[in-house]
Amino acid sequence: MNLSFKTVALIGKYKTPAIAEPLLRLASFLAEKGVEVAVDSLTAEHLGAHPYRVLSLDEMRGAVDLAVVMGGDGTMLNIARTLAPFGIPLVGVNQGRLGFLTDLSLDSMKRSLNAMLQGEFVTEQRMLLSVQVLRQDLEVCRALAFNEMVVHRSNIASMIECEVRIDGDYLYTQRADGLIISTPTGSTAYSLSAGGPIVHPALDVMTLVPVCPHTLSNRPIVVSGGSVIEVLMHRTGDVHARFDSHTHFDLQLHDRLVVTRHKEMVHLLHPAGHSYYHTLREKLLWNKSL
């Protein structure tokens, strides 16, 4: 059999012992198909004895053709940020609650991956955000975000104040509980909860969504993915920048955040016949009768 992917890495949700049984079951299935199986080093700590090669995420560069991520969307977000610069395509098996990004079920994973090994899949390329934090023109933080970058205060009784520029043009000075800068992937996450639009993942755009703005006329705005978004902090004190809710950085007065589209894309694979609109109907319960 001429397989599309000869070496497949398996990555499980961190520190989740329940992942061991389905992951080893999938590893055995792939090995029987003639696939060389590698297991992420952190995942391997929870598997017990097994015959598969163990690799760190960094060691997967150039060593694997496909990574299967077993967990929830949070797990996929974390892995995608790390593996995107390596050009490794990703498949998600959902063991979480929502599953916008991890669309294979435990019941269907063998059948779906068997078809993918034979070339039956569709590919999506999704953008990442690259964020720099500049303090007196010196870079003090650099991070990637697959869903969104959020500026917010820990104290919910007070607001942030920041100036926003797009490609050097002044947009507004925002007073709000926070500001979300979202990719199309992140449009169905925190951005959606804050009143932002749902954006098709194929679009090359970024969305700015204020969280509980002081002025009701401050609405979400969608800008080109090639834009340079600058956020200048005018009011601080327990203000943070968060990246996909996984990492954060403490901001100071006059810090400037520069947000651009990252040069690398995330490559997601889906079963043949995958439909984004079907996913929306299913995950947002649009197919339920009132």
| Active-site residue flag, 73 | yes
Same domain, 102 and 33: yes
281 located within any domain? no
In a domain, 282, yes or no: no
Is 269 part of any domain?
no
Answer for the pair 23, 46: CB distance below 8 angstroms, yes or no. Answer: no
Q: How confident is the model at residue 28 (pLDDT cuts 50, 70, 90)?
A: very high
- Residue 195's Cβ-side half-sphere holds a number of Cα atoms within 13 Å equal to 12
> What's the pLDDT at 96?
66
Q: Say which range, 17-21, 136-140, 217-221, 267-271, has the weakest mean pLDDT.
A: 17-21
Residues 217 and 209: their CA atoms lie apart, in Å, by 12
pLDDT above 60: residue 181: yes
Residue-level pLDDT at 285: 84
State pLDDT tens for residues 269-290.
999 999 999 889 988 888 766 5
Please say which residue of 119, 151, 184 terminates a domain: 119
Asked if the structure places residue 253 within a domain, the reply is: yes
Bin 27: left if φ > 0, else alpha if -120 < ψ < 50, else beta.
Answer: alpha
Mean pLDDT value across residues 238-253: 90
Out of 40, 73, 103, 177, pick the active-site residue: 73
Comparing CA positions, the residue from 56, 57, 39 lying closest to residue 48 is 39
In our burial notation (b when 16+ CB lie closer than 10 A, e otherwise), range 140-178 reads: ebebbbbbbbbbbbeeeeebbbbebbbeeeebbebbbbb
Provide the domain count of the chain: 2
Average pLDDT across the chain, whole number = 92
Q: Which residue has the higher pLDDT, 147 or 103?
A: 147
Specify the pLDDT at position 15. 77
What's the CATH code of the domain at 234?
Answer: 2.60.200.30
> What's the pLDDT at 157?
67
Q: Are residues 220 and 173 in the same domain?
A: yes
Is the domain of 133 the same as that of 250? Answer: yes
Residue 104 placed within a domain? yes
Domain boundary among 59, 87, 119: 119
Last residue in a domain, options 92, 119, 146:
119
Indicate whether 115 and 140 sit together in one domain.
Answer: no
Residue written as tokens 């996929």?
Answer: 76
pLDDT of res. 4? 83
Question: How high is the pLDDT of residue 119?
Answer: 92
Helix extents (H) in the chain = 20-32, 41-44, 73-83, 109-117, 190-193, 276-283
pLDDT band per the 50, 70, 90 thresholds, residue 60: very high
Residue 185 lies in a domain: yes
Asked, for residue 280, whether it belongs to a domain, the answer is no
Mean pLDDT of 238-252: 90
pLDDT digit string, tens, across residues 93-143: 988 666 788 889 889 899 999 999 999 999 999 999 999 999 999 999 999
Looking at the fold, whether 27 and 98 belong to one and the same domain comes out as: yes
Which residues constitute the domain of residue 187? 128-263
Within-domain flag for 99: yes
Give the list of residues 6+ apart from residue 29 with CB closer than 8 angstroms, or none. 110, 113, 114
